[in-house]
Amino acid sequence: MRATLAIAVLFALASPFCCLAAEQQPDLDKLIARADAAGEQKAELYARVVEAEVAAAEHQFAEGQSDAGFASVDAVNDYSDKCLAAAQQHAKRLKEAEIALRKSARRLRDVEQTLEFESRPKLKASVEHLEEVRSKLLQIMFAPPHKK
């Protein structure tokens, strides 16, 4: 009886997470469209896209979908570059973007630790890329006014 109850509770708790990937994609597409159309908030919105892609990659690696996970990691690199380009154009709301990139790098580093040894170099390179973009964001944020 207890075992059956424990299994039922586990399925009840896990069922919302099974639908998470299906629900996340439309929200991610909307966020990407919003970021593409944004003006001064572009950097922050692209950083939010990076966060969403890292969450998707984490979920995909946990589900054993390593090809999809690596595709999400590639998207993380692309959108972090777009975030940096947007920050160079409009130096607005960069603090939020920097925080989002820092959290994403930390989360991706945690995901890297869960993978097998042969799969880690690509994620390590992505974490280093995020840290580099974050460093450049900080340079933009704290540059003297004439160098922006």
Query: What tens digit of pLDDT does each residue of 94-133 get?
Result: 899 999 999 999 999 999 999 999 989 999 999 999 999 9
The number of distinct structural domains making up the chain is 1
Of residues 35 and 126, more confidently modeled: 126
Band of pLDDT at residue 28, cut at 50, 70 and 90:
confident
- Domain hosting 65: range is 20-147
11 found inside a domain: no
Give percent of the chain with pLDDT exceeding 70: 81
Interatomic CA distance for residues 69 and 125, integer angstroms = 14
5 found inside a domain: no
Interatomic CA distance for residues 28 and 56, integer angstroms = 10
Q: Tell me the whole-structure pTM to 2 decimals.
A: 0.78
Alpha helices (runs of H) in 1-148, residue ranges in sequence order: 2-18, 20-37, 42-62, 66-89, 94-114, 120-141
Q: Which of 28-37, 95-104, 138-147 has the highest mean pLDDT?
A: 95-104
Neighbouring residues of 66: CB distance < 8 A, sequence distance ≥ 6: 60, 119
pLDDT number for residue 1 = 56
CB 134 within 8 A of CB 98: yes
